[in-house]
Amino acid sequence: MGDEAKKIAVVIRDRQDEALRMAVGLTLEGDEVTVFNLGEPIDHHGDNDLNVETLGDLDCGRISVNTADEGFEQMTMQNVPQKLLEFDHVVPY
Amino acid sequence: MGKDAGEKSPQSYLYGTSRTFCSEDAAHGLCSRPQQNNTPIEIGSKGGQGNQNRMEVANGGCAMSKLGILVNTDKYLEDVVGVAKAAKAAGHDVTIFMMDDGTLLAQDLRDRVAGEAQLSYCEHSASARNVEDVEGATSGSQYQNAVMMHEADKVVVF
């Protein structure tokens, strides 16, 4: 049980730093992690930039409803629910 | 901590009230309905995509599944306890991982559901909140969270 990679969506709202830290950590078992930023644009402080870069290096999906989030795939809020249906776990933060 | 007046019974999480755990609501997915009788279960087909490990059984019941509970706030202690106890009572394996403000509940959860769930917490978050080592809960890292997510059939976030 549990040998196949899971698809995990991390939905970022107001606690960006912890959400991004968790998203990087969730890759440790080989699961496919995608972050969805539905809140304010990612704040460029602390470890946020490093964690976003690390997620990119690990081929994790990075999706945002904010055009200000560079390096993120842009998606409208209306299309997010359909996309989330692809995932085994959806983890709001 | 004693049982206060507002505490919900495991059964209330299974079968009723505003926060139902096992219901027809597919979002919860672990168990569609309670076991109807004590006849031997028969393993049927596996669940669909995203729920490969759930096994439908005869009489509308379900086989044991693994429930992961991520606790990242300290606002829902009673709900976490209720869901954990209900899931365990229904025969499921329960794992709880605490991080962020959820580590503030480590001692309470250890006291109340250590017998029902495997407990671990993020030491990085705990130390930032002056949470002392909690005996009976694993002081770990995001690796414990990754393992829980990987092995769980369903995950609930509080």
- pLDDT digit string, tens, across residues B5-29: 455 555 454 443 333 334 333 334 4
| pLDDT at residue number B20 | 35
| Topology, domain A7-92 | Hypothetical Protein Ychn; Chain: A, (3.40.1260)
Q: Where are the domains of chain A?
A: 7-92
Give B-chain residues touching A91 at CB under 8 angstroms.
70, 149, 155, 157
Domain B10-157 sits in CATH at 3.40.1260.10
Mean pLDDT throughout A68-89? Answer: 96
- Only one residue has tokens 């997510």, namely B149
Could you tell me which chain A residue has the CA closest to the CA of B147? A29
Q: Where are the domains of chain B?
A: 10-157
- pLDDT digit string, tens, across residues B102-151: 999 999 999 999 999 999 999 999 999 999 999 999 999 999 999 999 99
A 23-82 near B (Cβ less than 8 A): 24-31
The per-residue DSSP string of A20-84 comes to HHHHHHGGGGT-EEEEEE-SSPPP-STTHHHHHHHHHHTT-EEEES-TTSTTSEE--GGGHHHHH
Tally A–B CB contacts below 8 A.
60
Q: What angle do CA B54, B56, B61 make, to 5 degrees?
A: 110
| pLDDT at residue number B105 | 97
This complex has an ipTM of: 0.93
Say which range, A42-46, A50-54, B151-155, has the weakest mean pLDDT. A42-46
pTM over 0.95: no
